[in-house]
Amino acid sequence: MLHGKKILLGVCGSIAAYKAAPLTRLLVKEGAEVQIIMTPSALPFIGPLTLATLSNRPVLHQYADTQSGEWHNHVALGLWADALLVAPATANTLAKFAGGLCDNLLTAVYLSARCPVYLAPAMDLDMYQHPSTRANLERLQGWGHHLIAPETGELASGLYGQGRLAEPETIVAYLQQQMGQSARLRGKKVLITAGPTYEGLDPVRFIGNHSTGRMGFALAEAAAAQGAEVVLVSGPSQQQVTHPGIRRIDVRSAEEMYQACRAHYRGQDCVIFAAAVADYRPVKQEAQKIKKKEDRLQLELEKTVDIAATLGREKQGQLLVGFALETDNELAHARQKLEKKGLDLMVLNSLQDAGAGFGHATNKVTILDRSGDEQAYPLKSKEAVAADILEHIIQKLHAS
């Protein structure tokens, strides 16, 4: 499924660099064209000759060949690739990527690349858990990069924990899923909601929530990568769209989101309600800023439109997917919403699970369907969660 794909493989200075050899072999076996770029610190860990032999291409590790004078054009390399895979990605290189630093050929190619970026970190337990590393990974994922999470096991330091580079077979399987099956939604139309809604109190204040929109945007990118024509209706969000197959519509309130969804509802093959829509809004939005006068301020609220339930009653063959963020009796409440709103799939996550919910680059979900089946997944990046959800959707669409 990777046949003919052009892959830049970045290899950084880690003991896990030895895995670049079997990884290269597997990629070439799948029919990919592999160009390896090593950082200077990677050279002591594995010889370029080994990787050059396996990839059938000279390994690059500097801007120019000092003997021949040949310049290795980082811009041309970035434009050549269908994917940039960095495995192993060290804490140092991740920090450079996140900060826009450019002091070697790999970082220069990264800044020039227009293709999807896949990061497979490898480092010791405490380095991976350090707040700076976590912040860098969250920032990179916020830019749409894919995280191939490290595995848990015995580390080179002798400690046990998360930080081991994913096995080459795991990395290749992830690439196959992301790149090799890019047409399974071709000809399909997908409508997705994302982010929070802001319900105005006055010109400067609103009722909202902590949703960043990252899950909805990840779903939009994943669906577009599978060939779908995507309409993304987003509440206020700092997330950015990168795929040209996504049409983004920005809204603010629950009513605006409902109207935008209703306008595009007909003719959709699938609708994914991933937004965190406010349940209530102020009955009256003041025209002027509310002044601080009394010790207490009483607000009168009214229900907003339930977008999923309302459109569910108007269902005309669309596959409908909802999200449920729960804090107690999670499965029972999610199953109840699934039936009540006429949905086909429900994606459940709980605020009781560390790393799940709002404000995280990761999520931990359980996917339920109307037949009573449910499938729980471990904590993953939201991009990986989006791939899992899309797999269920594709199976449902193909079965109908």
- Asked if residue 279 belongs to a known ligand binding site, the reply is yes
- Asked if residue 97 belongs to a known ligand binding site, the reply is no
Which position among 56, 209, 329, 363 bears the catalytic label? 209
H or E element, residue 21: helix 20-29
- Asked if residue 315 belongs to a known ligand binding site, the reply is no
- Asked if residue 323 belongs to a known ligand binding site, the reply is yes
The answer to whether residue 209 is catalytic is: yes
- Asked if residue 344 belongs to a known ligand binding site, the reply is no
Residues carrying an active site annotation: 209
Q: Which residues are annotated as a binding site for CTP?
A: 279, 289, 323, 337, 341
